[in-house]
Amino acid sequence: MTNRLYLRPTGFVDAPFGYDGKVARLAGGLAWFSAVEAIGDGREPELVPVEAVPDRLSAWGEVARLAWDNLTAARAPLTLGARTVRLDQPQVVGILNVTPDSFSDGGRNLEPSTAAEAGFAMASAGAAIVDVGGESTRPGAKPVWEQDEIGRVLPVVERLAGSGTAVSVDTRKSAVMEAALRAGAALVNDVSALTFDPLSAATVARLGCPVVLMHHQGAPETMQTAPRYDRPVLLEVYDWLEERIEVAVSAGIDRSSIIVDPGIGFGKTVQHNLQLLNGLAMLHGLGCPVMLGASRKRMIGALSAEAPADERLAGSVALALKGAEQGAQLLRVHDVPETVQAIRVWRGLRDAALAPSSAH
């Protein structure tokens, strides 16, 4: 147990007009909040208005001051090859599994040409990034030999990157990272947060690419057997990601190139996942962009009469919108056109709230 203080933005408003000093912009995005919940181990949570935060920071201490600065600082855009992905608004990342056994779409895209066409369709539908993976990390999945994984992802990455699509590689292995990055991928998405392969952090640092560090508990083979946390899951995930950020920076990875992901479904019960989603905005206190990958996850089935993975579209869109409302910059999804449409409607509502109105 620690005595540190955590700040969770809450009290969101549609627009900041007329609230000078009373609201703050979350991570330079399209969300404004009017209060923070100050929480910590062994203390009663306290709701503090934004206008009172400056006077409280000295008493709260340096850790809370840094978190506040991070919550209210803009995120730099991602440079992915020739593409620039702005992080002042939610962006959709399309999931392209080149695997026979992924939980939702395994086996659909084993042929490189078929997979590339699926990736092109995602980009055309509005995905800012296409995330290519050659190893399933679903609950119970077995590891894949790195050369087999390279053989799956490389031809797809080459086709997509060659056409100008921004590509990330979803892998835990340094050899796969290096092969994919040299083939044109521009971002590494590691569900192990660089813990699986002792060479991965050095590889990412040497090649100078952005990296996603995802929280997980246990290996895919066993992570959903009996997940448990000794403290509130939101605080444990926050601390774990903070530690992984520092390890990555120590390995030579630029802090501005690090993205964090709470790891929905990776060593969590349904209640753990719901608590993380409700508290997602707190993760902006880490100072990194936030990726949310909740698409078609088991929790949606658990909340909707055990709907199978291919019948979880509505729940997936609902969770993507929940992420957008809390400032998540990257939404990793299977259903790109539907999610892009939902985000465009959400963005239209935001734009209307932010536009000066002449109506009376």
Question: 132, 170 in Cβ contact below 8 A?
Answer: yes
Residue 273's closest CA among 259, 291, 290, 294?
Answer: 294
Residue showing tokens 């006077």: 55
Task: Give ∠ CA 253-204-27 in degrees, rounded to 5.
Answer: 50
Q: Quote the Cα angle for 330-335-340, to 5°.
A: 55
Name every residue whose Cβ is closer than 8 Å to that of residue 52 and which is 6 or more positions away in sequence.
none
What gap in Å lies between CA 192 and CA 169, rounded to an integer? 13
DSSP 187-207: EEEETTTT-S-TTHHHHHHHH
Q: What is the 3-state secondary structure (H, E, C) of 265-311?
A: CCCCCHHHHHHHHHCHHHHHHHCCCEEECCCCCHHHHHCCCCCCHHH
Q: Measuring CA to CA, which residue among 3, 69, 78 is closest to residue 286?
A: 69
SS3 assignment, position 338 = helix
The single residue of 297, 298, 312, 350 carrying the catalytic annotation is 297
State yes or no: is 8 an active-site residue. Answer: no
Token pair of 342, please? 């939902």
Q: If we measure between CA atoms, which residue out of 319, 241, 223, 315 comes closest to residue 282?
A: 241
Edge-first strand order for the sheet with 330-333 is 258-261, 211-214, 187-190, 167-170, 129-133, 91-97, 330-333, 291-292
268 is catalytic: no
| Token output for 211 | 């990296």
Give catalytic residue positions.
297, 332
